[in-house]
Structure 1
Amino acid sequence: MRNLSLLLICLLLQGCTQTQKGLGETVKLALLGPDDVQVSDEQVENLPYASMYLRLNDGQRIFVVLGFDENGQQKWITRDKAMVVTQHGRLVKTLGLATNLTDVSNLQQDPLGNPLHLTEGASWTRLISWTEQGQFHAAAAVSHFTRTDDEVLTLAGKRVACRVWQEEVELTADGKSWTNTFWVDTTNGQIRQSIQRPGGNAFTIETTILKPAKS
């Protein structure tokens, strides 16, 4: 487990080396920098934390770092202390947003748990719960996966060959539906990019992993 706050405290101590000072500026950028940020490949490489770009509902792009990596889940911290939690690249919880995903059941059966062995038409059923304007909602959701054309992404200066999968999601109670898209690294199965909706009438969340968490 990596504690970002501890790193920040250490960097503020007197007697920091020039390298530490440079690292401190990078961490400051990650937490306090402007939206729609462009982080250099060197900054991504030098920061000793996993990092990604995050965009909410076609808004401005921000840069976030991994706060905690525990129990198979990655907890990404935004500069205003909101949190996005992922598991195998899938959104499983959010905190501090206008609409928040609170729980996803049956994650052990999620086809994204082994994405290099995903097959056309693979399906998955789970219960999702979320809040909208303080109101709690829950519904059963069914997904079906379809593979589209492969793509090569350029991430932090590196070309990453990806399989692209679309996930058609439908809520069984009212028939609402949407499409999630995942870019799967062909070498290790990591989800390097995604466009997802937490559920219901929620907005989209786009993620682009610049530096993956170490397994």
Structure 2
Amino acid sequence: MTNLRSALLILILSFLSGCSQRFQDVNATISEGLFGFEDINLKKEQVAELPYASIYARVNQGPQIFMVLAFVDTNPVTGNQQLKWLSSDSAMITTENGRVVKTTALPSDNLLGLSSSTNLAAPNSETTSWQNSYDWQPGYHYGKQAKVESSPVGMGVTTSLLWEKQTSHIREVITFPYLGQQMQNDFWVDSQGSVVKSAQWLVPNELLIEIEVLKPYAE
């Protein structure tokens, strides 16, 4: 965690010295419940100059926040890379093949873990179905089983601050049969199979995270 904080401190002081108030707003955005603050909107040149991969994220339709890639790990179960995105007050969103698999230090609900019968494969344009298992808090919800049905929606052009790409829109409908609840995830996937934009429900009716990739991770 010390390395993560140091990396973010360098990010703020070296590259965003002119935006200190905006980063104070990011702190408040997360720690005070994501209400009442404006979107964080950085300039194209600022993001391009950063030595970090970065994303915009939006939690429960609150203000847009800026997060940087602080750490890359490997899931020992799936063998996939996990990307850990950090906000200025150490809230974290962990993604695997573009899917959010864990959240840390969000002010309300947090996804503790996500596992899948597909080993968390990346979204693709094939119509198919599989099983997921969700853990979340508060409420000590563990091992909540869900059926996932995926289908293509169509093709289109997706634009971000630094790029414009042709993408496939993939929709997944997640049903919790024992809870009588359902939620929907949308992914926009580029020609390399990378998720560049998404809107993902992680806790039914409680936790929605929207992500837009600004500067993608490159090994």
The whole-number CA distance in structure 2 between the counterparts of 1:120 and 1:11 is 39
TM-score (norm. length: structure 2):
0.81
Q: In the alignment, what sits opposite 1:6?
A: 6
- Residue 10 and residue 60 in structure 1: after superposition, are their counterparts in 2 closer, same or farther (change >3 A)? closer
Quote the offset at 1:9 in angstroms: 6.2
Structure 2 residues not aligned, in runs of 5+: 27-37, 75-80
Matched position secondary structure for 1:173: coil
Structure 1 residues not aligned, in runs of 5+: 13-20
Q: In the alignment, what sits opposite 1:149?
A: 154
Spell out the pairing of 1:1-215 with structure 2 (5 A cutoff): 3-7=3-7, 23=15, 25=17, 31-32=23-24, 34=26, 35-71=38-74, 72-97=81-106, 98-106=108-116, 109-112=119-122, 115=123, 118-132=124-138, 135-138=139-142, 139-186=144-191, 188-215=192-219
Quote the offset at 1:70 in angstroms: 1.5
TM-score (norm. length: structure 1):
0.82
Kept in 2: contact 1:8–1:24 (CA 8 A):
no
Q: In the alignment, what sits opposite 2:77?
A: none
Amino acid at match of 1:53: Y
Larger gyration radius, structure 1 or structure 2: 1
Quote the offset at 1:131 in angstroms: 0.6
Question: What's the RMSD between the two structures over aligned residues?
Answer: 2.5
- Residue 107 and residue 86 in structure 1: after superposition, are their counterparts in 2 closer, same or farther (change >3 A)? farther
- Residue 163 and residue 119 in structure 1: after superposition, are their counterparts in 2 closer, same or farther (change >3 A)? closer
Quote the offset at 1:82 in angstroms: 1.0
Instruction: Tell me the number of residue pairs that the alignment of Structure 1 and Structure 2 aligns.
Output: 199
